Amino acid sequence: MPDARGHFGPYGGRYVAETLMPALLELEAAYNDARRDPLFHESFQRLLHDYAGRPTPLYKARRLSAHCGGALIYLKREDLAHTGAHKINNTLGQVLLAQRMGKTKVIAETGAGQHGVATATAAALFGMECRVFMGTEDVKRQAPNVRRMELLGAQVIPVASGTGTLKDAMNEAMRYWVSAVRDTFYVIGSVAGPHPYPTMVRDFQRVIGDEARRQILDREGRLPQALIACVGGGSNAMGLFYPFLQDPVAMIGVEAAGKGIETGKHAATLGAGSLGVLHGSKSYVLQDGHGQILEAHSISAGLDYPGVGPEHAWLKDSGRARYVSVTDEEALEAFRTLSVLEGIIPALESAHAVAHAMKEAAQGSPDDILIVNLSGRGDKDLGIVFKDL
């Protein structure tokens, strides 16, 4: 748990303009109240079960494991959750909370569009007005998700400033929120942003790790050697890791090395970033020596972010988790391999985790078990992949 002001060690906190402080304090109070309320839990669990389709399976990937020749790989199938990614867990939780707080409008930012789709979905379910901010570059890269959001009744607002990616969409969502803070709930899509978002999003996503832990104990009667998940902002990884924190299980977060860390065109914030403040919290960020935020690069729109959740920064510093990176090319290769060997087309984000799992598995023994979070499905990425393969 973070301290009272939302700090994980030196990370986290609330670095926002004064206009937003009362809203964050109100949100924190409302969330603390909700998390202690059995009725809120019951409503949330029912939504996850009946609407999102949980629990998602833990699937033993036999052919992929055999191909790597080493450890046994299990896939946590978040791609099978409603809307095709883990994002739905968090948006159902936040929109349920928004309703409890009497808010009538929600906004969100999105990179790959998965969080936007999940927010638009939850907003439709609860009859709330929804605006989604999305960089113009991502609007192009993720056209099918833009259509889905619009079909769900959301208004997609293209953001042309900066590089037109997730960072800029988040800037614009924060600007809009400053103006509309009285009746609007900001649904943040990752374990980033000001306190209480990193904690709250982790809590809504911990269902991934809770299920995976129970499922692997049922299936194998023991815990895995390692958990592997991709990290952009880091919500799917945090959700998988958190319930295992006290267990003797290795945790590996996989960042996007893009065209290679040495080229500067990457999104490996924990691997190559430094201490900074971005989007309301203190964490690792990609920046120059003068504190200006640098552009991130990844073939995967969902990982294309120069910041990372503060709890990951803390897990890295404390040595509890390890962070590695894989390139665009390696992710594409894993994308193809998983499709061919298992009949599962992963999101490009998840393909980063799969790529590293394949390396890790090859070095492991047949007694080792790896759980890889398959955070989302890859339909949305076909345009990009067909262009690049």
Check residue 265 for interaction with other proteins (CB under 8 A): no
Least distance to other proteins, CB of residue 349, Å: 23
**Interface with other proteins, residue 167, by CB under 8 A:** yes
The yes or no reply on residue 181 touching other proteins (CB under 8 A) is: yes
Please pick, among 28, 109, 255, 342, the residue that the annotation labels catalytic.
109
Please, what is the minimum distance in Å from the beta carbon of residue 268 to other proteins?
Answer: 19
Nearer to other proteins, 28 or 311 (CB): 28
Q: Rule CB under 8 A: say whether 217 interacts with other proteins.
A: no
Q: Tell whether residue 290 is a contact of other proteins (CB under 8 A).
A: yes
Is residue 183 involved in binding other proteins (CB under 8 A)? no
101 binds other proteins (CB under 8 A): no
**103 annotated active-site:** no
Minimum Å gap between C-beta 102 and other proteins is 16
In the complex with other proteins, the residue whose CB is nearer, 121 or 287, is 287
Q: Which candidate in 65, 281, 375, 380 is catalytic?
A: 375
Q: Does residue number 166 form part of the binding site for other proteins (CB under 8 A)? A: no
Asked if 246 is part of the footprint of other proteins (rule: CB under 8 A), the reply reads no
CA dihedral 108, 114, 119, 120 (to 10 degrees): 110
Any contact of residue 218 with other proteins (CB under 8 A)? no
- Judged by CB under 8 A, which of 5, 49, 140, 147 binds other proteins? 5
Interface region with other proteins, contact rule CB under 8 A, candidates 271-279, 309-317, 331-339, 354-362: 271-279
Count of residues touching other proteins (by CB under 8 A):
36
Query: Is 43 one of the annotated active-site residues of the chain?
Result: no
For 29, residues 6+ apart whose C-beta sits below 8 A from its C-beta are none
Segment near other proteins (CB under 8 A); pick from 116-124, 273-281, 342-350, 380-388:
273-281
Q: How far is CA 226 from CA 26, 181, 279, in A?
A: 38, 41, 31
Smallest gap, in angstroms, from Cβ of residue 105 to other proteins?
14
Q: Which of 28, 78, 87, 360 is catalytic?
A: 87
Q: Is 375 a residue of the active site? A: yes
Among 285, 332, 334, 345, contact with other proteins (rule: CB under 8 A): 285
Q: Does residue 90 interact with other proteins by CB under 8 A? A: no
| Contacting positions for other proteins (CB under 8 A) | 5, 13-23, 161-162, 167, 171, 174-175, 178-182, 275-280, 285, 287, 289-293
Catalytic residues: 87, 109, 375
